[in-house]
Every structure is written in C-alpha cells, then in structure tokens.
Amino acid sequence: MNEIDAIGRKILRELSREGRISNLDLAERVGLSPSACLRRVQELERSGVIRGYRARIDPARTGTTFIAYVTVGLSRHTKDAQAGFEAAIAEAPEVRECHNVTGSIEYLLRVEAADLAAYKHFHTEVLGVLPQVNAITTYVLMDSPKDERG
C-alpha cells in the first residue's frame, strides 16, 4: 500500500482509538460496506501499516507506581556503542520504550518500575553500569493529561 487515502486515514484513526471495534461498527463510522471495510483493514495489515493491536493497561493496577522518562547520553558516538547500549536495554524489562533521538543526548527511555526504590536499583545497577553511558537524566512522570499510545 503506497498511499493512504482519506478512508484509509479514517480507518486508522478509528482503530487507534478503539482497536477492538467490530468490523460492522468500523464500516459504519468510516462510510463503507462491511466487506469493503474488512478488505481495507486486511490490506493495511498485510502491507505493514497496521503492525498489531495492543491492550491499554493501567500501570497502577499492575503495581507499577513509578514512571519516568530518562535521557541517556553515550560516552562514545560510535555504531558499536549504540549497538551495545541497545542490546543491554532490550534485556531490561523496566524499559518500555527506547528511542534514539537527535540533540544533546542519544536516547530517550520510558521506564516503569514498582516504586522509587525499584527505579533506583534500575538506575544504579542497570543503566549505571553500562560502559557506553555517560549521562543520565530522569524526568518523573506526574500525570498524563493526553496519552494516545496504543
């Protein structure tokens, strides 16, 4: 699928809001017949535009009361340093998102932990021991008045 038309964008918008919507309801919302809507959704899935569906989980109800965004600066700006850092982070269950970004730091992480003590352990025993890491800055999440992540 090379270009997404207005109907395709409507389908994506509705599915991003409500991934478990029935095909019948989705078709009604976007103005297609159910069979045409299903074909469109299947093509979006087949082409990789829709990569999957997720459950939105309330972290507090699962015992995760500490969420932070953490910026990480690397000591060396090499492909090997990035690969080593990314491999270590891939093994850290506390890291829910890892983004390579531009600017004065190399990575932005979303970290979820049970509490401050658990985060301190992650900060000290996981991030703090990585040889690639030069700088760590933590931004503690206080509230999320808008969060459209799937």
CATH 3.30.70.920 domain locations along the chain: 59-140
Tell me the per-residue pLDDT of 71-124, one tens digit each, with 9 for 90 and over. 999 999 999 999 999 999 999 999 999 999 999 999 999 999 999 999 999 999
CATH 1.10.10.10 domain locations along the chain: 6-46
Alpha helices in the chain (DSSP H): 6-17, 23-30, 34-46, 79-90, 116-122
- The SS3 of residue 95 is strand
Q: What is the mean pLDDT of residues 56-80?
A: 93
Distance CA 67, CA 59 (A): 9
Q: For the domain 6-46, what is the CATH code?
A: 1.10.10.10
Residue 10 predicted with pLDDT over 90: yes
The CATH class for the domain spanning 59-140 reads alpha beta
Tell me the per-residue pLDDT of 13-39, one tens digit each, with 9 for 90 and over. 999 989 999 999 999 999 999 999 999
Look up the pTM and report it: 0.81
